[in-house]
C-alpha cells in the first residue's frame, strides 16, 4: 500500500545534476493547485524536470505535466504508467483554436432580429391557416376529430380548473363589493353595488380573470406538454405515421379551450355575484333584493357579449400555447422558454383583444 503523504512539491536540483527541477509526491486534483501556480512562477522556457519521485498521478496531475511539456519543459523519469497517461493526452498536438462566440455588429444583429421576427410572423400565419383549414375540414368530417382526446382536454382545461377559478372569482367578488360598498354607503346607495358588480363581472372582469388564470394554467401546460413531445421527437413520430400534428394535437386542445373558457367564465360570474351578495347581506341588503337589482341592470346582451369574448380568449390561449409548443427548439431550456413565451404572448394578446372588443361593443351599442 502506498503511504506517501498527499502532497506534491517542486524543488530546484543542485547545479551540475541532470535536471533543473525535481517534481515529487502525489500529483492529484487535491494537491496540484498550489504546485501549478508555483511552476508558473518558477518554470519558464526549456527546462529539464526530473519526475522520478512522482508517486501518483491522476488526470489533473497529468494536465499539469501536459502544461509543463507544452511550455518546453523536458520531463524525464516518469513511471511508465504515468508516462502512458501523459502520452495518451498527446502533449505535442496543439489545441485547436476554440471557436469563440464573438458579438456580431449592430447592423447584422438588427437584420437577424428582423429576420427572426418575420420568420415568426410567417409561422403564426401558417399556423392560423392550418388551424382554419382543419376546422373547416372538421365541420365536413366530424369523425376526424379524436373525440376521446377532446373530452380529456375538456376535463383538464375545464373541470380541473374550476376550484382555482372559483376561489379567485369569490375573492374578486368580495373585494369589489366591499370596496365599492364603503364609499356608496355615505350616500345611502349600497344597493347600487349590485349594478356595479353585475355589469363589471359579466362584461369585463369575469372573462378577463378567467382568461388570465387559463393562460397561466392551461396555456403554459399546452406549451410545455407539446414542447416536451417535440424535444422527445414524438411530434416527428406523429408526422412519419402520417398524422397531422395540428389535427392530432392542436384541434382537441383548441376546441376544449373554445368551449371551456365560456363555461368557466359563467361559473366565475356566478361565484363572484354570490360573493358580492354575501358581502351586501352584511350591509343589510337581502339576497333577493340584490339579485333583483342585478337582473334589472344587466341584460342578455351583456352576458352574451361576455361569453363571446370568453370564447375568443379561450381560443387564443389554446392556440398560442400549442403554437409555442410546436415551435420549441431542442433541449430542456427550450421547453422553458416556449412556456414563458406562451404565457407572455397570451397575456399581451388578451389585453389587445379585450380593447378591440370594447371598441366593437361600443360601436355595436351592446
Partner 1 sequence: MIAPTIRVENLRCGYGKRVLLDDINFSIEAGEVVTILGGSGCGKSTLLKHLIGLYKPMSGRIEIGGDDFVGASGALRERILRRFGVMYQSGALFGSMTVLENVRLPLESFSDLDEKSIDLVARLKLRQVGLEDFAAFLPSELSGGMQKRAAIARAMVLDPAILFLDEPSAGLDPVTSAGLDALIRRLAEIQGMTIVVVTHELASIAAIADRAIMLDRDAQGIIAVGTPAELAEHTDPRVRRFFLREPENHLTGS
**Can you give the binding site for partner 1, defined by CB under 8 A?**
1-2, 28-30, 32-33, 36-37, 56, 58-60, 62-64, 66-67, 81-82, 84-85, 88-90, 95-96, 98-101, 329-334
Are 166 and 209 spatial neighbours (Cβ–Cβ below 8 Å)?
Answer: no
CA angle 323, 356, 201 (to 5 degrees): 95
- φ, ψ of residue 146 in degrees (nearest 5): -85, 90
Of 2, 11, 51, nearest to 27 by C-alpha is 51
288/333 with CB nearer partner 1? 333
Residue 264 to residue 255: CA distance in whole angstroms: 14
Residue 213 to residue 325: CA distance in whole angstroms: 19
138/334 with CB nearer partner 1? 334
146/341 with CB nearer partner 1? 341
332/359 with CB nearer partner 1? 332
66/192 with CB nearer partner 1? 66
Least spacing, CB of residue 108 vs partner 1, in Å: 19
118/237 with CB nearer partner 1? 237
Lookup result for grid cell 372582469? 205
Least spacing, CB of residue 93 vs partner 1, in Å: 8
Q: Three cell numbers at 2?
A: 502506498
Alpha helices for 90-192 (secondary structure H): 106-140, 147-157, 162-185
Residue 345 to residue 283: CA distance in whole angstroms: 42
Least spacing, CB of residue 78 vs partner 1, in Å: 12
Least spacing, CB of residue 69 vs partner 1, in Å: 12
Are 309 and 205 spatial neighbours (Cβ–Cβ below 8 Å)?
Answer: no
Residue 286 to residue 313: CA distance in whole angstroms: 35
Are 165 and 264 spatial neighbours (Cβ–Cβ below 8 Å)?
Answer: yes
Least spacing, CB of residue 102 vs partner 1, in Å: 11
240/333 with CB nearer partner 1? 333
Q: Give the count of beta carbons closer than 10 Å to the beta carbon of residue 95.
A: 6
Residue 172 to residue 65: CA distance in whole angstroms: 70
100/364 with CB nearer partner 1? 100
102/365 with CB nearer partner 1? 102
Residue 164 to residue 86: CA distance in whole angstroms: 63
Residue 238 to residue 240: CA distance in whole angstroms: 6
Q: Three cell numbers at 173?
A: 367578488
Are 334 and 227 spatial neighbours (Cβ–Cβ below 8 Å)?
Answer: yes
Least spacing, CB of residue 182 vs partner 1, in Å: 50
Least spacing, CB of residue 81 vs partner 1, in Å: 5
Least spacing, CB of residue 207 vs partner 1, in Å: 37
First to last CA, the chain: 91
Amino acid at each position: 500500500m502506498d503511504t506517501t503523504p498527499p502532497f506534491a512539491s517542486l524543488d530546484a536540483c543542485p547545479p551540475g545534476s541532470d535536471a533543473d527541477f525535481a517534481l515529487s509526491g502525489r500529483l492529484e486534483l487535491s494537491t496540484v493547485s498550489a504546485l501549478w501556480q508555483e511552476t508558473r512562477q518558477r518554470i519558464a522556457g526549456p527546462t529539464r524536470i526530473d519526475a522520478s519521485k512522482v508517486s501518483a498521478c491522476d488526470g489533473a496531475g497529468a494536465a499539469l505535466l501536459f502544461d509543463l511539456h507544452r511550455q518546453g519543459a523536458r520531463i524525464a523519469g516518469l513511471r511508465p504508467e504515468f508516462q502512458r497517461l501523459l502520452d495518451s493526452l498527446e502533449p505535442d498536438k496543439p489545441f485547436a483554436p476554440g471557436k469563440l462566440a464573438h458579438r456580431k455588429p449592430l447592423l447584422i444583429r438588427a437584420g437577424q432580429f428582423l429576420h427572426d421576427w418575420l420568420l415568426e410572423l410567417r409561422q403564426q400565419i401558417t399556423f392560423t391557416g392550418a388551424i382554419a383549414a382543419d376546422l373547416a375540414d372538421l365541420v365536413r368530417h366530424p369523425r376526424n376529430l379524436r373525440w376521446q382526446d377532446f373530452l380529456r382536454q375538456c376535463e383538464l382545461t375545464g373541470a380541473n380548473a374550476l376550484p382555482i377559478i372559483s376561489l379567485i372569482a369569490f375573492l374578486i367578488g368580495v373585494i369589489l363589493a366591499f370596496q365599492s360598498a364603503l364609499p356608496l354607503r355615505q350616500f345611502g346607495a349600497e344597493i347600487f353595488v349590485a349594478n356595479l358588480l353585475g355589469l363589471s363581472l359579466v362584461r369585463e372582469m369575469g372573462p378577463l380573470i378567467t382568461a388570465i388564470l387559463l393562460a397561466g394554467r392551461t396555456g403554459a401546460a399546452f406549451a410545455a406538454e407539446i414542447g416536451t413531445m417535440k424535444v422527445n421527437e414524438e411530434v416527428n413520430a406523429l408526422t412519419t405515421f402520417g398524422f397531422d400534428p395540428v389535427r392530432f394535437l392542436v384541434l382537441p386542445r383548441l376546441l376544449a379551450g373554445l368551449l371551456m373558457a365560456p363555461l368557466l367564465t359563467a361559473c366565475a360570474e356566478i361565484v363572484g355575484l354570490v360573493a358580492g351578495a354575501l358581502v351586501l347581506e352584511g350591509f343589510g341588503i337581502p339576497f333577493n333584493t340584490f339579485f333583483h337589482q342585478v337582473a334589472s341592470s344587466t341584460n342578455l346582451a351583456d352576458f352574451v357579449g361576455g361569453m363571446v369574448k370568453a370564447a375568443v380568449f379561450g381560443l387564443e390561449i389554446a392556440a398560442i400555447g400549442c403554437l409555442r409548443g410546436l415551435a420549441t427548439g431542442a433541449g430542456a431550456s427550450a421547453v422553458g422558454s416556449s412556456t414563458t413565451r406562451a404565457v407572455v404572448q397570451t397575456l399581451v394578446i388578451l389585453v389587445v383583444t379585450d380593447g378591440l372588443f370594447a371598441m366593437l361593443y361600443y360601436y355595436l351599442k351592446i
